[in-house]
Structure 1
Amino acid sequence: PSAIFRRPAPAPNAISSSPSCWPARTARSTSSPQDVVWIAELAAAGWVHPLDQDVSAGLRRSFFPGVVEACTYRGRLVALPWYVDAGGLYYRTDLMSALGRKPPTDWHELADTAAEMQHRRVPMGYLWQAKQAEILLCDLVEFIASNRGRIIDPSGAVRVDSPACVEAVQFMRDLVHRYKVSPSEVFSWDEEPSRRPFTAGRVGMMRHWSYVYGVSQNPDQSKVVGKVDVAPLPSFPGGTSSSCLGGYQLGVAAGSRNKEGAMDFLHWLAGTEAQLAFALDFGNAPSRVSVYDEKKLAKGQPAMVKLKEAFGNGVPRPVTPHYSRVSLALQSAVSRALVYGDVRGTLRSARRDLEAIV
């Protein structure tokens, strides 16, 4: 059955997943994947059909909780989880073993471990991504959520200058300027510039997306084949490991003439068999928890199984219909805070900017 996925073509009833192009009020439109950050915008515009009556509580519990949260807007389920991505802590198993350490579960422990790796083994202890771009928001969400903070809380209140957020952003800056385990280049690096030094064998640990495991095991692209593993990201004391969610989820257009047929299609796409097929054929990580217990997945995509805990710790970026503006404002503010300091004052100003947006 998975053969049907090998060369997917646009379905005649499928519609664009971009918010600005979503033709939801046309009768022909039926269903489409949505980037996880677009869900609230589409729902606020009234362009998607609420799914509360079509998705049981039991079915919702079969997906990772963070994905269900990302698919929910103002208490209503407006998208069905499909596939996910999340950040994980990649580390050199040989270096960790040589130091007699285990993957750190606390951010300050990570700084200590990275410093020891850097002192004894590699030029760079820990890499992450802080380029003024969307990736900065992803890393930011992980640091803040792992300190029990929220940029925007469920009520819609802006909390970006809360003590938890200030502490998290200050630590991000301290990784470069105080602990000196991350080079200042991280302030201009996104995914690939940060990945290359790691797979070249010059870095002890790194935050990155799920695709990196496969790259690290490819001898054509990596000098550390067989020396890399992945673990959940650390947290602050009293917090929990948190990974920023990526991926695409499924929605039904409000203007669809055949909502029942669209829901049947969505239930099939989100089902165990289809999610397993997409995982094996395309590397799309399932949103349904039980798929990670499938023996075929462990054999065909072992890295996904390793990342199950990271996906389970997934947290969404701010759920708001104004996400694009919120993201740009935060990118600018947090970038200034990381480079120039005055974290508290910069985040206080950012709160006022965000309140004007949301």
Structure 2
Amino acid sequence: MTTFLVAIALIFILLRKPVTLSFVVPNREAEQWQPLIEEFHSKNRDIRINLTNFSQTNPEKPENTDQVKELYTAAFQKKRGKLPYDLIYQDIAWVPTFAEAGWLRDISDWISKEELDKFLRSEVEAGRYQGKLYRIPFRTDVGVLYYRKDLLERVKENPPETFDDLIRISQNLQKQGIAWGYLWQGSRSEAITAMFYEVLHGYGGFWIDPKTRVVGLDRPEALKAVEFLHNTIMEGISPKGVTSYREDETRSLFTEGKAVFLRNWPDVWVQANAADSFIRGKIDIKPMVHAAGYSSGACKGGWGFGIAQTTKHPKQAWKAIQFFTSAAAQRHFVLTMSFVPSRRTLFIDPQIIDKYSHYPKLLEIIDEYSILRPPIPEYGQASDILQQYLWNALMGQQNPQAAMKAAAEQTRKLLANG
């Protein structure tokens, strides 16, 4: 009788229609997700994963981070019926906004402290808002300073520690025929925000204190940060076109051997060391430079998973998150996509270090110098304000003092209005 009941139960499971979970990722990641999804399907026959917006005929395929956020925001704001996403694959900066809006489910009690301790501490803390956990980290990111170690050896210089060191070394090597000293992201986008935040921190300044909500954009430290960037353009250390560059444009110039220093993200390492790269084996990384008496800042980036508040399948969504954020899944992404993991053990994995020799140094930068963009619900609007006025100052459309005063005033109004 027992065998008969077991057989009936198995037949019922096989015939039952599987639950479908959906989420969206930036387009460049879509192909790499397929092997993980297929493996998940083989181990969980009662759950299907649907990566939305990736059919060949769909014009809404999100190419970058900003477009993914737009898809989420548009879907959440409709508030009609079941939302199209169950899992929320989200950038680190979106957590406070999504959580405050009630779009994410609190998962504080779904994971043990022992399991959370296996992830990078800065990544776990970035998934919290007002003491509750809304995001489990999948991959991390952090701003680093790349430098041409062969060029520094030529002029017998150590890697720069201060802004003054960077300027001096850049100008010296430019006299010897290197086109540019320092490349950074000046496009009016989140790229300029992340870049500026590191420079601001390096001068001892701050943007928004998340506890007091005090704004520091019109303080002397912020003006020094703007002036440093503006001067790199005026003195020819950085190209005039840098105010239109995002990550890809600066990476291309650097890998073509046209610059000494580059501020960018860890994925540049793989492209710079590709078989056809002009600078293969000639680069290294370090934390961003800073003013004398202050410390480096490395802007945190990264992606992780949350659960949509409106999903009808929270238990299945959690099961998927456990699988996708596992060490095995992250290891696959590290080795195939060059993304940086969020689990600590992978930074000392022999096969990973054999492929990415800079990982120990990268872990040190993450642990010692990470700075999180202000974890406030109004973050998106605050970043838009900073982008606008900072870009105006760098383009010469406003003098730095007037631009940053306006940025500070607009930010204070935003925070006062909630």
1:294 Cα shift? 0.9
Give the structure-2-normalised TM-score: 0.76
Question: Aligned residue for 1:255?
Answer: 310
Matched, 1:20 2:49: no
What code does the residue aligned with 1:19 have?
T
Give the structure-1-normalised TM-score: 0.87
1:103 Cα shift? 1.5
Question: Aligned residue for 1:357?
Answer: 414
Does the 8 Å contact 1:19/1:38 carry over to 2? no
Question: Aligned residue for 2:26?
Answer: none
Question: Aligned residue for 1:108?
Answer: 164
> In 1, Cα distance between the equivalents of 2:202 and 2:156?
25
- SS for the counterpart of 1:130 is coil
What code does the residue aligned with 1:21 have?
A
Shifted more, 137-146 versus 335-344: the winner is: 335-344
1:28 Cα shift? 8.5
Does the 8 Å contact 2:182/2:262 carry over to 1? yes
What code does the residue aligned with 2:75 have?
C
Structure 2 residue aligned with 1:319, among 372, 375, 388?
375
Q: Deviations over 1:116-162 (max 9, x none)?
A: 22122412111111122221111111112233432111223322223
1:236 Cα shift? 2.4
Shifted more, 147-156 versus 91-100: the winner is: 147-156
1:83 Cα shift? 0.5
Matched, 1:224 2:279: yes
Shifted more, 131-140 versus 165-174: the winner is: 165-174
Question: Aligned residue for 2:355?
Answer: 300
1:257 Cα shift? 4.0
CA 1:56/1:234 → structure 2, altered by over 3 Å: closer, same or farther? farther
Aligned length: 354
CA 1:60/1:162 → structure 2, altered by over 3 Å: closer, same or farther? farther
Question: Aligned residue for 1:52?
Answer: 108
Structure 2 residue aligned with 1:235, among 283, 290, 294?
290
Question: Aligned residue for 1:78?
Answer: 134
> In 2, Cα distance between the equivalents of 1:75 and 1:288?
22
> In 1, Cα distance between the equivalents of 2:302 and 2:262?
21
CA 1:132/1:345 → structure 2, altered by over 3 Å: closer, same or farther? same
For structure 1, the residue ranges without an aligned partner over 5 or more in a row are none
CA 1:342/1:28 → structure 2, altered by over 3 Å: closer, same or farther? closer
Pick the structure with greater CA Rg.
2
Shifted more, 11-20 versus 117-126: the winner is: 11-20
Q: Deviations over 1:83-130 (max 9, x none)?
A: 022221111121111111121122221112212221224121111111
> In 2, Cα distance between the equivalents of 1:97 and 1:319?
41
Q: Deviations over 1:143-186 (max 9, x none)?
A: 12233432111223322223332222222222223x54222221
- SS for the counterpart of 1:11 is strand
Q: CA RMSD in A?
A: 2.8
- SS for the counterpart of 2:90 is strand
> In 2, Cα distance between the equivalents of 1:195 and 1:282?
17
Shifted more, 12-21 versus 274-283: the winner is: 12-21
CA 1:266/1:172 → structure 2, altered by over 3 Å: closer, same or farther? same
Question: Aligned residue for 2:252?
Answer: 196
Q: Deviations over 1:301-335 (max 9, x none)?
A: 43545532333333233323233322222111001
1:339 Cα shift? 2.6
Question: Aligned residue for 1:31?
Answer: 87
Does the 8 Å contact 1:28/1:257 carry over to 2? no
CA 1:28/1:349 → structure 2, altered by over 3 Å: closer, same or farther? closer
Shifted more, 10-19 versus 304-313: the winner is: 10-19
> In 1, Cα distance between the equivalents of 2:74 and 2:137?
21
What code does the residue aligned with 1:11 have?
I
What code does the residue aligned with 2:209 have?
D
Does the 8 Å contact 2:182/2:260 carry over to 1? yes
CA 1:213/1:355 → structure 2, altered by over 3 Å: closer, same or farther? same
Matched, 1:160 2:217: yes
> In 2, Cα distance between the equivalents of 1:188 and 1:181?
16
For structure 2, the residue ranges without an aligned partner over 5 or more in a row are 1-31, 39-47, 54-67
What code does the residue aligned with 2:228 have?
F
Does the 8 Å contact 2:257/2:279 carry over to 1? yes
> In 2, Cα distance between the equivalents of 1:246 and 1:292?
17
CA 1:237/1:61 → structure 2, altered by over 3 Å: closer, same or farther? farther
1:74 Cα shift? 2.6
Identity %: 26
What code does the residue aligned with 2:282 have?
K
